Amino acid sequence: QSVLTQPPSVSGAPGQRVTISCTGSSSNIGAGYDVHWYQQLPGTAPKLLIYGNSNRPSGVPDRFSGSKSGTSASLAITGLQAEDEADYYCQSYDSSLSGEGVFGGGTKLTVL
Amino acid sequence: QVQLQESGPGLVKPSQTLSLTCTVSGGSISSGSYYWSWIRQPAGKGLEWIGRIYTSGSTNYNPSLKSRVTISVDTSKNQFSLKLSSVTAADTAVYYCARASSSGYPSYYFDYWGQGTLVTVSS
């Protein structure tokens, strides 16, 4: 059971917009700690997609955006492309006994 | 460009100690304010943070693994290491090393990752 809750799967057609939610609690996202997002293509290491809630590292397309409100955060992907099919993970800091580096359970994005 | 590479045995017997090393290239492990971390992923499952070390030697571990984990750093070799004792089949996973950068204390994110190494616990 992950400290951060994500939907197991989402899907969308090419060109559409999808969002992936990440729900936490008062000891992590709700405490004001930043949320970060990673993309993991099959058989590869995770890649940083969004850091500090809404910042994109160099090289990440602006089709990817992040937001945070209250105890939740969201990753939005617009103009969906076949190459976006991957697993997506949110990550934050947790001040409770769960430990510092907590991840969501991951969301499988399928491009129809 | 910073690169990280995990190395170590791919097969460990139950009850023994898993030992992995991460070699950092493209920059000094001592430069900048970074944490050096280990993360694992069982097949078909999500990511689990194991722990991290600062180059000063200060560490922090996942409470669920704390009694079995030791992370150390060797700045002269630009490496950091993971030891996980008393392993069982449940510790079978791909193990990643990663660099963590701060987004504002105490939050941090993992900006560089190794390719990962599969460790299987089996007799």
Angle at A94 between CA B75 and CA A48, to 5 degrees: 60
Check whether B78 has a pLDDT greater than 90: yes
Q: Closest by alpha carbon to A102, among B44, B107, B78, B82? A: B107
Interchain contact, A104 vs B46, CB within 8 Å: yes
| Closest Cβ–Cβ partner in A36, A45, A98 for B109 | A36
Dist CA B66 CA A8 (whole Å): 28
Predicted local confidence at residue A98, as pLDDT: 64
**pLDDT tens readout for residues A47-73:** 999 999 999 999 999 999 999 999 999
CA distances from A78 to A12, A81, A82 (A): 10, 9, 12
Query: Which positions in chain A touch B39 (Cβ < 8 Å)?
Result: 101
CB neighbour burial string for A83-111, b if at least 16 within 10 angstroms, e if fewer: ebebbbbbbbbbeeebbbbbbbbbbbbeb
Q: Rounded to whole angstroms, how far apart are CA atoms A100 and B34? A: 15
Q: Say yes or no for a CB contact (<8 Å) between B109 and A100.
A: no
Chain-wide mean pLDDT for chain B?
95
Residue matched to tokens 């990752």: B113
- Is B64's CB within 8 Å of A99's CB? yes
Percent of chain B with pLDDT over 90: 89
Calpha distance B2→A97 (Å, rounded): 32
Mapped onto helix, strand or coil, the DSSP state of residue A81 is coil
With residue A63 as reference, give the H or E element that holds it. Answer: none
Give contacts of A33 with chain B, Cβ < 8 Å.
Answer: 106-107
Q: Do A99 and B63 touch (CB under 8 A)?
A: yes
Mean pLDDT of A64-91: 97
- Averaged confidence pLDDT in chain A: 95
Peptide bond before residue B106 is cis, with ω within 30 degrees of 0: yes
Tell me if A93 and B108 make a contact (CB, 8 A cut-off). Answer: yes
Q: Tell me which chain B residues have a C-beta less than 8 angstroms from the C-beta of A44.
A: 115
Residue range B22-43: average pLDDT? 94
Which token pair is B52?
Answer: 């991290």
